Amino acid sequence: MFTAEPPSETTIRKSTGWIIALSIVLIVAGILAIALPAIASAFFTSVIGWIALLSGIAMIVGSFVSHPIRGFWLTLIVGILYLIAGIYILSNLEAALLSLTLGFGILFIVEGIYTIIMAFVHKAGHRMSWMMVINGVITLILGIMVLNGFPYSALWLIGLYAGISLLFSGSSLLAAALSVRRSTIAS
């Protein structure tokens, strides 16, 4: 029977060192995105454009490579649509940014209303349903703020949200890596 030995302290320190470095990069990127939300918004929107463009190319190539298999036309058409969307986003970054921001604003309003209704109708969380109401109200207010400030909210929304996400991802990754390192040293 095969039994794996636990990794050595040196191996764990080396592995967690890389994770700590990555988490610091994420934290710095998050702070920069929060500090410069307009630049971060444009950057993340262009990343979406590149992803759509490359996905479209891959789907088009894939449709021809797997031509004998069913679904050729569907894969080809979806690939062409992705390609067009990617080209459009990259060549019209401002319009894409405005569309994404408008979409987020509408999404937040719908989510806020839905969460408030769920809290009252289904008493989700029982005695703690008031927390769902607060969550719904905050989400609703955020959506109203985004749409009320539209189109200027497009300058900060996506960059700010991406920055907050990067900051929290980096912080939680750092905490986990430091916890693993401390538990290894303690044992």
Q: How high is the pLDDT of residue 84? A: 95
- pLDDT surpassing 70 at residue 186: no
Q: At what angle do helices 129-148 and 93-121 cross, to 10 degrees?
A: 150
Please enumerate in sequence order all residues whose Cβ is within 8 A of that of 166, keeping only pairs 6 or more positions apart, or say none: 26, 27, 29, 30, 33
Please enumerate in sequence order all residues whose Cβ is within 8 A of that of 114, keeping only pairs 6 or more positions apart, or say none: 136
Q: How high is the pLDDT of residue 151? A: 86
Entry pTM: 0.68
CA distance 39 to 85: 21
pLDDT tens-digit series, residues 38-70: 999 999 999 999 999 999 999 999 888 887 677
